[in-house]
Amino acid sequence: MPPGVEKPEHGGWILMSYVPGSPMPTADLSDAILTDLAKQLGDIIVRLRRNIPPQKRCGNIRLPPRKLGEQCVPGVDGTALTIRDIIQEGIEVNDPITTANEYYRLRLTDKLRQLETSNIYAPNRSLVEPLRAFISEQLPHLELTDGDGIPSGEFVLTHYDLSPRNVLVSGRPPRITGLVDFEFAGFFPPVDEFLNDVVNNGGEWPREFYEAYLARLHEKGVATPVRGFDPDVWNRNCWLETLVGSIAPWYLPGGWKGEELQAKLREVEANAREMLKRLIRDHDKYRERAI
């Protein structure tokens, strides 16, 4: 306990190991070094996916409950970690999440709640009814898995923020010494790590790095958006992820005020409507084929 602290009021303390190295300085590295580091990162992700089995439950990794259940991952020492909730969205659930459709239903419903209750997003509330209808009518029937690269009901260990600031490197030539910031790590659909890279962290990795990273994953047998994922299923997931981020963006109002804020709100509303249009059109197209 730190000096002067009699008891923790925030839930306790976490003892962590020190990992040497500094965040990857991508702007200062040559293409050759970036390519080598991309292969190193690819190898790390491959080991994580091979050595930690996929789970049948979706969610973040939590401390064990009083009574262990089916949604727990046993540890080598007899303890367990629980897979539940979506911490990064502030979503707590009572029942396990077992499908990608349910995962998105929870996230979209939470964003819909924010849209309806926060004054920040009040100008965009004309989205409420179209969103509610989509969640009820089309979302349950969207095919978000492809049976191969994105298996149904299978969730893989996902870091959820593989950006340069969370990849530590050291030495000459630089080697990756560790990954940090596992705050939002959990077991999520196999597409999620890539969706976060493309939709939420777009542009953080240099093109040369990311292409080499995806190529390494493919070489080692991990499906990626470039090779392994069904293109239609990948697009569907991308549209959904973009929709989630456009309903009640966490970064608003930020530093924007007045007309600048209104312009940002109009921009995200237009983006949400475009994603809804694509998803509904895609749903209707596949429904017609089925008939």
Q: What domains sit in the chain, N to C, each tagged with a CATH number?
A: 22-290 (3.90.1200.10)
CA distances from 15 to 5, 11, 18, 65, 200 (A): 17, 13, 10, 20, 30
**Torsions phi, psi of 81, nearest 5?**
-115, 145
**Residue 191 C-alpha from the chain's centroid:** 8
What's the pLDDT at 107? 97
Q: What is the DSSP string of the chain?
A: --TT-SS-SSS---------SEE--GGGS-HHHHHHHHHHHHHHHHHHHHHS--BSSBEEEE---SS--TTEEE-TTS-EEEEE-BGGGTB--SS-B-SHHHHHHHHHHHHHHHHHH-GGGGGGGGGHHHHHHHHHHTGGG-----SSSS-TT-BEEE-S---GGGEEEETTTTEEEEE---TT-EEE-TTHHHHIIIIISTTSS-HHHHHHHHHHHHHTT--BTTTBS-HHHHHHHHHHHHHHHHHS-TT-STT--HHHHHHHHHHHHHHHHHHHHHHHHHHHHHHHHH-
Mean pLDDT of 17-43: 95
pLDDT of 73 reads 55
The whole-number pLDDT of residue 77 equals 47
**pTM score:** 0.87
Q: Is the pLDDT reported for residue 75 higher than 60?
A: no
pLDDT tens string 96-117: 899 999 999 999 999 999 999 9
Higher pLDDT, 87 or 110: 110
Each residue's pLDDT tens digit, 120-165: 999 999 999 999 999 999 999 999 998 778 888 899 999 999 999 9
